């Protein structure tokens, strides 16, 4: 329980070498990094767009639920952020 509580208060942030941007030609958000590119699906792009080091994961989840009218999204967001952490796309800032 305490771990989950801590998770919701933590603030993810796109990691140093990565840059998130919209690509018109691909009609998708992409992550750029040294000599590489990852094309993101819509939900991954929407989550990463909000990883700015200011929003907590709880705020990100609430925003997405309200923006897309779907709930609950907590588990999906968490599993994507776990993957993004593993791939070093994001870093974590504690509150």
Partner 1 sequence: MSTTSAVAASVTPPLWLLAELTYTCPLHCPFCSNPVDFARQKAELSTGEWQRVFAEARTLGSVQLGFSGGEPLSRPDLEELVAEGRRLGFYTNLITSGVGLSPPRLRALKDAGLDHIQLSFQDSTRESNDFLSSTRTFDRKRRVADEIKALGFPMVLNCVIHRLNIEHVERIIDLAVDIGAEFLELANTQYYGWAFVNRELLMPTRGQLADAEAVVAARRQQLGDRLRILFVVPDYFEGRPKRCMNGWGSTFLCVSPDGTALPCQAARMLPGIEFPSVRSSSIREIWNDSAAFHRYRGEAWMPEPCRSCPERANDLGGCRCQAYLLTGDAGATDPACNKAPQHDIVRAAIASRARIPEMPLLFRSAANSRALSPPDSTSAC
What whole-number distance in Å separates Cα of residue 6 and Cα of residue 34?
Answer: 32
By the rule CB under 8 A, 26 interacts with partner 1:
yes
How many other CB atoms sit within 10 Å of the CB of residue 71? 11
Three-class SS of residue 4? Answer: helix
CB of 22 to partner 1, least distance (A): 9
By the rule CB under 8 A, 62 interacts with partner 1:
no
By the rule CB under 8 A, 16 interacts with partner 1:
yes
CB of 36 to partner 1, least distance (A): 8
Three-class SS of residue 15? Answer: coil
**Phi/psi of residue 12, nearest 5 degrees:** -80, 150
By the rule CB under 8 A, 53 interacts with partner 1:
no
Give the nearer residue to partner 1 in terms of CB position, either 5 or 25.
Answer: 25
């Amino acid at each position: 329980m305490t771990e989950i509580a801590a998770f919701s208060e933590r603030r993810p942030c796109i990691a140093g070498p990565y840059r998130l941007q919209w690509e018109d030609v691909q009609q998708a958000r992409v992550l750029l990094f040294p000599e590489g590119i990852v094309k993101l699906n819509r939900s991954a792009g929407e989550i990463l767009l909000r990883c700015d080091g200011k929003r907590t994961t709880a705020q990100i989840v609430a925003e997405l639920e309200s923006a897309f009218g779907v709930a609950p999204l907590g588990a999906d967001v968490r599993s994507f952020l776990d993957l993004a952490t593993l791939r070093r796309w994001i870093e974590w800032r504690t509150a």
